[in-house]
A and B are shown apart, each in its own frame.
Chain A
Amino acid sequence: MPRQAPEPSAVVIGHGPMEARVALELAEAGIAVTLVSERDGLTLGDDGPLAVPGLLVAVRHPRVQLLTGTALTAIEPRVSCNGAEAVPGVRVILHQSPRYVDPARCTACGACAAVCPMPFSGWDRTAGDKIHAAIQRVAVPTSYAIVKSGSAPCRHACPIDQRAQGYVALVRAGNFEGAYRAIKRENPFPSVCGRVCNHRCEDACTRCDIDEPVAVMAIKRFVSDWAAEAGIQTEYAIVPRSSFRVAVVGAGPAGLTAARDLNQLGHDVVVFEALPVSGGMMRVGIPAFRLPPEHLQREIDEIIDSGVELRTDCRVEDVELLFSEGFDAVVLAVGLHASRSLVLPGVHDEDAGRNPTPSIMGAIEFLRQINLGARPDWRARKVLVVGGGSSAMDAARVARRLGADVKVVYRRTRAEMPAHDYEVDDAEKEGVKIQFLANPERFLRSDGRLVGVACARMQLADEDESGRRRPVPVPDSRFVLPTDTVLLAIGQTSDLPNLGGNAVADEKTGVVLHAPDSLMTSRPGLFVAGDVAGTPGFVVDAIASGAQAARSVDRYLRGDSSVTEMARLPQTQLDEAGIALRLESAAPRGTIRSERCSAIPENLWLDFNETEAGLTASQAMAEAARCLSCGLCSECLACVDVCTAGAIDHERSDRLISLDTSACIIGKELDADIDEICSRGCAGLFDARGSVHLCDTVPQVLRLFGVQWAATTAGVAAPAQRSLMYSGDSRDLKIGVFLCRCGGEIERSVDLSDVGERVERLPGAFLAGIVDFACHADGAEIIRAAMAEKAPDGAVLAACSCCALDQICASCTTQRIRCKERLGVWSETADIPMSYVNVREQCAFVHANDPMGATAKVGDMIAAGVGVLASQGLSARRPLVSGSELGLRAPITASVDLARCRGCEDCEMACGLDAIHVLGDNETRLACVNTSRCLGCGVCLAVCSSGAILAADLGDAQIDAALEAMDVRDKTVVFTCNWGAYSAMEAAGVERLDYPPSVRVVRVMCAGRVHDGLLLKAFSRGARRVLVLACHDNGTQSGCHYRTGADQSLTVVERTRRLLRLLGIDPSRLGWADLRPGDGQGFVSAIRAFPSVSTRPIVQGRS
C-alpha cells in the first residue's frame, strides 16, 4: 500500500544536557527536532540553561527548532483518520506563553530596555527567578522578552484601560513626555481626568493595603500640565482612509473620543454640536475653577487637528437626516444635559418666561449659562441647592462666586454624599452651608415669588438597592428654609433628537435602548455612547463608551459581526511576600502620599480661577516612586515607540500548539508525572529519565525511521569546504561592503554617510548597499540581489556579526546566525566569501558618547574586514568560510597542514582537551586532530613552531591583515578571548559599556591562541599598547574554557615582555588580564587600568 510516510520528526521536552545531546544526535541523523523549554529564553550565567553542555550547539543546529516559554500539556496517541489504525508517533500538545517580542524581528539592540521605566533594571544573577526586569535580554533566541505578572489593579479597575502603572513608572523615571504619550493612548482628555475623575484606579491600588493609594490622578494632572507647559503635541498616525463617513452627535467626552478613534481607524468623521462650544459636560457642566477651559480646549484642538470635522451651533434634530445625507453610521452621544425636575407643590413659576434666571432651575442649566459666560449678580440672593452630588457642589460654589448666600439640602448624611469628600470640603471652605437629612416637600411662594422651601427632616433606614441607607421622613418634622432661588441637582436626563427607525429611549433616564456589547440601537448603524448609553456618568466612563462605540462602528462598517473585546490579562494580586519584594524597589511603607492642595481665594466674587494646585515635578516623581509596579511590565508601551524593528506586540496571548511527531522524548528535567500526561501507552513516547538513557533512547527513536544509529563520536562528517584560490594580485579584488543600520540604532552614534565615503576610499572596496536590518528577510534579500548584480569577489557585512564562523560561541546571536544562514545558503552567494565585522556592538554601542571616534572605528573595522578577505585571497591556502552545505555546519576545529607538521608533540602537550595527538612511527609522526573533542581554541596553533596548525577562525595572516587595515597606529590593540573578556558580555545581558574608541579589538577563540609573533606584529604595526585578555570562571586554571589557554597566554606574554625589553620597548606596554566570562565591566576596567604610556610607536619596518 503506497502511502507517503510522514517526515521523521521528534519533539524533545526539556533543556538539560541529556535533552541537548538527544536533540543534537537526532538532528545530525537528519531528523527535524523541536526542543521545548519552559524558560522564556536560554540565558548564560550561573544557573542559566546555557551553562548546560551542548545546549547552545543543539539549539543552533539548523534542524533544531527551539520553542521557549512552552510547557507540555498532554500527549495523545497518533491515530489514523478512522481511528482503527495506530500511526507510529504521538500528538504533542504544548502551551506557549507569550513573550511579547517576536524573536524573528528583534535585533536585540536594547533600545527598548533603555527606555523601559521599570525599576527592576538589568538581570540580577542573585535574585534568580524572583525579580526580573520588565524587559530582559536572553541569549537564545537572542532577543528581549517582556515579563508580565498580570494586569495591574489600577489598569484593571479603569474603564478605559488606562495604563496607569505605565505612566506612573514613566513619571518616576522622569520621562514626562513618554508618560503623556502613554496617557493619551487611551485617554484624549488627561487634563480633565487629572482633575475631575473618580479615579477607581486609586481605590484598586495595592498600596491601599499597606498605607495609602498612589495619587494616580494627581500624577496624571501633573503630566498634562507639564505637557501643556512644554507644548507637547500628540502626533496622530497617518492611516489609510476608508470610504466610510460617520456622524457623531454631541462633542462631549464620549462623542469626541469616538470621533478621534474612528478617525484613527480611517473613517471620515463629522461631529455635530448643538452648543457654540465643544466639550460637552466637560465644558459647560464643570465650573472653570475646577477645570480651566483652556486645558480642555487644547485637547479638543488636538482631536480636530488630527482630521475630525467639528460643526458647532449645529443641533441635530433628526438622526435619519444624517443617514440620508450619506453618513454610513451615526454615534449619538448627546449626553444628559437636562436637569430632572422636582415635581412638588409650588414648583411652577409664573414668571418663568420673563425671568432670565428663574427662581427654580436645574443646576446643569445654571452651570451651562455661567460656563457660557453669564455673570449675574446674585449678591442679594439666598440660594438653596438640592442634591448631594458633584453638580450640587459645583452649582453651590458657582453661586457663591456670584455673591449668593448658599445652602445645600441633602436627604442623607455626609457619608452618603455622591460628591467627593474634597468637593464637599472645598464647598464648605467657600462658605456653603449644608443641611443634611432634609428633603424639600413644598416650594413656598409669596406673590408668586419664591420665598422658601418647606422641608421634612429625614432619618436613615435600611439600605436600598443602591447600597445606601434609605432616608425616611421623621414624622411631624417639617421646617422651612428661606430662599429665593433653588438649584436642582437631583439627576439629569437627555434631550434627544428624533431617533430613526425603531430606536427608542427610556423616558425616565433618557437612555437610548441598545445592545450592550455593540452599543448599536435597533436602528442599524445608529450607535449610542456616553450618558445616553447609560454609562455611570463620569467623564472616564464617557470616554470608555466613546472608544467602545468607535470599535463597534468600525466592526459594523467592515461587516465584522463579532463583538469580541480584547481579552485582558488577569489582574495581579500581590500577596504579602510579593508586596514585600516590590517594596524593595519602591518608596518604603508609610511614605506620605502627595496630597492635593486647594487654595480657596479670600474674595470669591467672580473669581473663577482654578482653586487646586497641581504637583510639582519632584512631588510627582516622589509620588510615582510609591508605586509597587504590580504588573512588572507597566505596559507603558515606551518600548513599542522606540522599536524600529517592529518586534514588540503587547497584545500577544497564549497559544496552544499541537504537533504530530514521530517521537516525543521526555527529559529528565520535567517535573510532571509522565504517567499522568499519557496513560495510554503511546507508541513513540520515550522517557529519558532514570533507567532509559541516551544510548537507548536515540537508537530507539531512530529505529522508528529505519535509520541505523552510529555513535557520532567521530564528529559530523565535515562538509566539503569551499576555498578561495587567487593567484593574482590583491589589487584586482572587488570587495563589496554592506552596511546595516540596525533600524537606526547604529546611526545613533555612527555617521554612515561618512563611513560610506571611507569605504569608497578603500582600495579594492566599494559600497554595495545599506540595509535596515541585515538579519531580517528583506535586508538579506537586498544583499542577495546586490551580490547577484554586482558579483563581488568578496563581501564585508558591517553589522553585528563578528566572524566567519557559523555558530557555537556564546557571543553569536540568533540574528547573526540567521543572517549568515540567509546569506550563506543561496546558490548565488554561497561561493562569495564573506567577512563580518561587528560595528554595532563594538562601535555604535560602546562608543555612543564619541560619535567621531565610533565612526572612525567603523571605517577601520570595515578596512580590517576587507584586509582579511584580501589577505585570504593572497595566501589562498586555507578555506575562508568554514562553510555549511545544506545547512550542515562544519565543526569548529583546528586542522593540520601535514607537510609542515614536525610531529614534535608540542601541540599535544599544550591542548587542555586531549584533542590533538601525534600518531605514527618515528620521524614520520604527524599530529591528528580529534574533531569530536577539538573546540578550535587555537592553543595548539600558538605553540606549533613550524606553523603547521591552521586556525579554526582567523589565521595569523588574517589577523595581521586586520591589524594593518585597522590602522592600529598609536592605539590600543586588545587580543581578547571569545568567551570571557568581550564578546560574551552582550549575550550575558550586562549593560552597555563605554570605553575609549582608540581601542582596536581582535577577537580570538582563546587568549592562548595569541603567540609572541602576533604580539610583536601589533607593536610593529604601531600599536601604542597591547592587551591580552584571557578568561577564568572561578579564579582557577580550569576556568578557561579550553583549560590551558589562559595560563599559556600568560606564559607567552611574559616571554614577549622579555623580548620587548631587549628591543628597548617598555614591557609595560604589553598587558595581560583575565576576566570572568561575560564580565563587560571588568573589560572596561582592564582597559582603563592599563597604564597610559607615552612613547613613540615603532616604525613599521617591512618593505
Chain B
Amino acid sequence: MLDGSGLERKLRHTGVFRCLECGKCTAVCPISLYDHRFSPRRTVGRALMRHEADLLLDDRLWACLTCLHCSQVCPAGVAYSDLTQCLRTEAHKLGQSAICTHGEVIHGWMRMMMDPAIKQDRMGWLEGKQTRSGTVERAEQGPQTALQTSDGSDTLVFVGCAPYFDVKFANIGVEGNSVPQAVVRILNALGIAPRVLADERCCGHDLLWEGDEHGFRCLAELNAHLIRESGVKRVITACPECARALAIDYPAHGLDLNVEVLHVTQFLARHGAGNAAWAGLGQKAATVPPKSPLRRVTFHDPCRLGRHLGAYDAPRRVIGALGMELIEMPRHGENALCCGTNGWTHCGAANKQIQADRLREAKATGADVLVTACLKCQIHFECARQDRALASELKIEIQDLTTLIADRLDQLASG
C-alpha cells in the first residue's frame, strides 16, 4: 500500500534515524502522561522498523500536540514534530484525517477561505464592541480612542482568525476582537498607524500541521500575494501560530515574503528601544504602579512563540518594562507545558487533564492573572477552567498579553 522507500526518504530530514532510543521524548510528553497509548518513542521505533502502515493508520498519530517539548530534550536532535507533520501529510493523502473538534466548524471556515473568489466582510473588529466583560468594563471608564490605521504604512497587522473566534467562542467569554484591537492600540501608542488587510485569509498553520498541504498552500499563496502586493516591510501579529507560519512555513514552501515577521512582543522587544513613545511610557511605568489585576502576572509560553520561534525573553522583557511583577510557573520557558490542544483536533480527557494541570500550576504561583500570548491557548484554558467541578479550584483570570500591554499603556497614558 505504501511506498516505503519514498516515505523513508521523506522522513530522513526529520532526523528520525538518529534516534538513540533513550525515551526522553516520551518522558516529557504531556499527552503520554495521560494517554498511555501515545508514545513518541514508540512512534519513532516504528519508523525505525519501517512499519509504515502502523505509522500512518494509527489514530494516535493525530494526538501529538507538536509542542516540540520532546525535541527540546532529545540528545540526538530528532525533530519529532516534523516527523509528525510528515507522517500526517502522507496519511492525509490516504484519506486519513484528524478528528476535529467543534463539529469541524473552524476547519469549515478555514477551507472556505481557500476559495480565491470569496470576499470576506471581516473588518468589523476595528470598530466592533469588545466582547469580554472585563474589557468592556475598563472601556466604560473613558471614551474609547478610535483605532488608527493607514493604508500607506510599512507595518502590517496580520489579524488571524480572531474575528471568527469572537463569534464562535463568545459563549465562553474569551477575548476575540480585543486582541487585534490591542495590537493596533499598542502600535498607535507608539505612534504607528498600521496597515490592515480587508481580505486576509487564515494563515493555514493548522491545515499544514494536520497534513493538508494543499489547503495550506492555497491559503498561503493567497496571503503571500496580499502581503507582497501591500509592499509592507514588517508584519506584526498577536498570534504565535500566524507568526510561525509566515516566518518559517511560508518560506519553506517557496513563498518568501521578504518582510520581517514578528509577534507583537518580539516587535516591542526588538524595536521598542528605538521608539520615543515606548521609552517614555517605560520610564513612566517605573513610577506608576499597575492596578490590580495587572500587578502580579504569570506567563504561559505558547509552544509556537517559545519552542518554535525561540521567543522566551521578548514577552518577559515587555512585562518587566511595563512594571508588572512576573511570577514564573515551575515549568516555563523551554520547559513550559503546552496548553493541551492543537489545531482544533483530537481533544479529550487527556487534553483536559493537561489544561487542568497547567491551570493548577498557574494558580499555585499566587499571580492575579494567567497571561498567555496566544488566543488559542486562552480558548483552551477557558474551556477547561469553566468546568463546573473545577471552577472553584482553578479560578484565575486569564488574559492575552497583548490586551494586558494595551491596557497598561492606557493606564500609563492616562495616569
Contacts and interface: CB of A to CB of B under 8 A. Distances in A.
Given A946-B347, A947-B103, A1014-B103, A1020 B112 contact: yes
A948 B348 CA distance: 8
B101 A946 contact: yes
Interface in A929-975: 942, 945-948, 956
Interface stretch (A148-156, A607-615, A819-827, A920-928): A920-928
Contacts of B119: 1064
A729 B100 CA distance: 21
Interface stretch (B75-83, B260-268, B283-291, B382-390): B382-390
B17 interface: no
Contact of B102 (A904, A1013, A1096, A1102): A1013
Interface stretch (B6-14, B225-233, B350-358): B350-358
A580 B99 CA distance: 67
A1101 B112 contact: yes
A902 B348 contact: yes
Contacts of A502: none
B325 to A, nearest CB: 29
B29 to A, nearest CB: 17
Contacts of A1017: 104, 108
A259 B212 CA distance: 82
B163 interface: yes
A139 B230 CA distance: 66
B118 A1055 contact: no
Interface in B4-54: 35
B103 A902 contact: no
A903 B352 contact: yes
A1011 B105 contact: yes
Nearest to A1097: B115
B110 to A, nearest CB: 8
Contact of A1059 (B99, B105, B212, B351): B105
Nearest to A897: B348
Contacts of B122: 1062
A1096 B117 CA distance: 10
Contact of B347 (A945, A1056, A1061): A945
Interface string B81-107: 000000000001001000111111101
Given A947-B100, A1101-B218, A1063 B109 contact: yes
B118 A956 contact: no
Contact of A923 (B124, B170, B353): B353
Contacts of A1064: 118-121
Contacts of A1013: 100, 102-105, 107-108
A730 B94 CA distance: 11
B112 A901 contact: no
B214 interface: yes
Interface in A429-481: none
Interface residues of A, number: 50
Contact of A905 (B115, B163, B218, B388): B388
Interface in B370-390: 383-384, 386-390
A1060 to B, nearest CB: 9
A1098 interface: yes
Given A727-B57, A905-B387, A1016 B349 contact: no
A806 interface: no
Contacts of B347: 900, 902, 945-946
B58 to A, nearest CB: 12
B3 to A, nearest CB: 15
B253 interface: no
B112 A1016 contact: yes
A713 interface: no
A1058 interface: yes
A1011 B35 CA distance: 29
Contacts of A898: 349
In this complex, which of A942, A956, A1013, A1062 has the most chain B Cβ atoms within 10 angstroms of its Cβ?
Answer: A1062
A1059 B122 CA distance: 9
Given A905-B387, A924-B349, A1062-B163, A945 B118 contact: no
A84 interface: no
B114 interface: yes
A1016 B120 contact: no
A1089 interface: no
Interface in A862-919: 874, 897-905, 918
Contacts of B179: none
Given A874-B95, A1020-B108, A1096-B117, A904 B103 contact: no
B215 interface: yes
B117 A1099 contact: yes
B348 A946 contact: yes
B113 interface: yes
A1019 interface: yes
Nearest to B161: A1062
B211 to A, nearest CB: 10
B284 to A, nearest CB: 38
A1026 to B, nearest CB: 12
A660 interface: no
Contacts of B57: 727
B167 interface: yes
Contacts of A1103: 92, 212-215
Contacts of A1059: 105, 109, 164, 167-168
Interface string A251-288: 00000000000000000000000000000000000000
A902 B215 contact: no
A635 interface: no
A1012 interface: yes
A945 B351 CA distance: 13
Nearest to A925: B389
A1102 B111 contact: yes
Contact of A922 (B103, B107, B350, B389): B389
Nearest to B348: A900
Contacts of B164: 1059, 1062
Contacts of B352: 902-904, 923
Contacts of A727: 57
B95 A903 contact: no
B387 A904 contact: yes
Given A946-B101, A1058-B167, A902 B356 contact: no
A1016 B105 contact: yes
A777 to B, nearest CB: 41
A1012 B165 CA distance: 13
A1061 B102 CA distance: 19
B105 A1012 contact: yes
Contacts of B112: 1016, 1019-1020, 1063, 1098, 1101
A1012 B171 CA distance: 14
In this complex, which of B107, B122, B167 has the most chain A Cβ atoms within 10 angstroms of its Cβ?
Answer: B167
A947 B105 CA distance: 12
Contact of A1098 (B100, B115, B212): B115
Given A899-B348, A1063-B109, 19 more contacts: A900-B349, A902-B348, A904-B383, A926-B349, A945-B102, A946-B101, A956-B103, A1013-B102, A1016-B109, A1020-B111, A1058-B167, A1059-B164, A1059-B168, A1062-B163, A1062-B167, A1063-B121, A1099-B114, A1100-B111, A1103-B214
Interface of A: 727, 729-730, 874, 897-905, 918, 921-926, 942, 945-948, 956, 1011-1014, 1016-1017, 1019-1020, 1055-1056, 1058-1059, 1061-1065, 1096, 1098-1103
15 contacts: A902-B352, A903-B389, A923-B349, A923-B390, A924-B349, A945-B102, A948-B348, A1011-B102, A1017-B104, A1017-B108, A1055-B167, A1062-B109, A1062-B163, A1100-B111, A1101-B112
Closest 3 CB pairs of A and B: A1013-B103, A1101-B114, A1016-B108
